[in-house]
């Protein structure tokens, strides 16, 4: 039966949202290994064929649910005139996504890759849209203001904050505390990229 608690039939975006919300709750509760289309359908108050018409298996459904969760917390940071302020704002916004990143990690530790014939890099690209661009824009603005030396922004330095953040979330299944984010920016990253 396709409908919500009031018995109204959902369609289009409302139905897609209900299905993705249900898939997200199943992922959070049971992890990818125990995610089933049937459980998602039951939680959403619909049938398995309704889900199968939208996603051809649990792998694309899981990716869509995690992506939707992460997109609910955009990481865009406006120019605030100070690289430190912007980097801390970026890490704070990324911290709002920690639960989604931890859920994505459950895909890395499951049969996901054998099911879809994908790689960790392609999954990362599918899920972490916008993050690298935000960090790049912050750093470009800082270079233009003379706060950061552009020639020092080479890999792995240019991706260091994002790498530290993801490592913390994956290892701890939680967002890094504010004091740790400040230490990353003040004690590790900025000393590496400030002009001599």
- Write the DSSP string, 22-80: HHHHHHHHH-GGG--HHHHHHHHTS-HHHHHTT-SSHHHHHHHHHHHHHHTS-------
- Indicate if the pLDDT at residue 158 is higher than 90: yes
Instruction: Locate CATH 1.10.357.10 in the chain.
Output: 74-193
Q: What's the fold here for domain 74-193?
A: Tetracycline Repressor; domain 2 (1.10.357)
Per-range mean pLDDT, top range of 104-108, 158-162, 170-174: 158-162
Q: Which residue has the higher pLDDT, 133 or 192?
A: 192
- Indicate if the pLDDT at residue 114 is higher than 80: no
Q: How many CA atoms lie within 13 A of 172 on its CB side?
A: 12
* Burial call 95-133: b when 16+ CB within 10 Å, e when fewer: bebbbbbbbbbbbeebebeeebeeeeeebbeebbeebee
- Indicate if the pLDDT at residue 4 is higher than 50: no
Could you tell me the pLDDT band of residue 11, with boundaries at 50, 70 and 90?
confident
- Indicate if the pLDDT at residue 124 is higher than 80: no
192 touches 160 (CB < 8 A): yes
State the pLDDT at residue 105.
73
DSSP annotation string for 77-107: ----S-HHHHHHHHHHHHHTTHHHHHHHHHH
Helix (H, G, I), strand (E, B) or coil at 4: coil
Helix (H, G, I), strand (E, B) or coil at 195: coil
Structure tokens at 33: 């290994």
Mean pLDDT of 161-178: 92
Prediction pTM value: 0.80
Instruction: Locate CATH 1.10.10.60 in the chain.
Output: 12-67
CATH assignment of 12-67? 1.10.10.60
State the pLDDT at residue 176.
98
Q: Which residue has the higher pLDDT, 165 or 116?
A: 165
- Indicate if the pLDDT at residue 61 is higher than 80: yes
CA angle 48/51/54 to nearest 5° reads 150
Q: Which residue has the higher pLDDT, 99 or 131?
A: 99
Cis peptide bond prior to 156, omega within 30° of 0:
yes
Q: Specify the DSSP class assigned to residue 188.
A: I
Mean pLDDT computed over every residue of the chain: 88
State the pLDDT at residue 109.
66
Q: How many CB atoms lie within 10 A of CB 43?
A: 17
């Amino acid at each position: 039966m396709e409908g919500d608690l009031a018995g109204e039939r959902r369609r289009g975006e409302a139905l897609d949202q209900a299905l993705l919300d249900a898939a997200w709750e199943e992922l959070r509760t049971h992890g990818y290994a125990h995610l089933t289309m049937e459980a998602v359908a039951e939680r959403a108050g619909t049938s398995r064929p309704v889900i199968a018409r939208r996603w051809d298996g649990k792998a694309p459904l899981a990716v869509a649910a995690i992506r939707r969760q992460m997109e609910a917390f955009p990481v865009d940071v406006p120019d605030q005139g100070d690289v430190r302020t912007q980097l801390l704002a970026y890490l704070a916004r990324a911290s709002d996504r920690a639960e989604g990143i931890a859920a994505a990690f459950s895909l890395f530790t499951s049969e996901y890759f054998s099911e879809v014939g994908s790689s960790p890099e392609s999954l990362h690209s599918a899920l972490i849209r916008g993050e690298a661009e935000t960090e790049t824009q912050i750093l470009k603005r800082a270079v233009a203001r003379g706060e950061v030396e552009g020639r020092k922004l080479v890999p792995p330095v240019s991706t260091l904050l994002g790498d530290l953040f993801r490592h913390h979330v994956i290892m701890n299944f939680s967002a890094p505390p504010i004091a740790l984010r400040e230490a990353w920016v003040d004690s590790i990253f900025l000393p590496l990229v400030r002009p001599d």
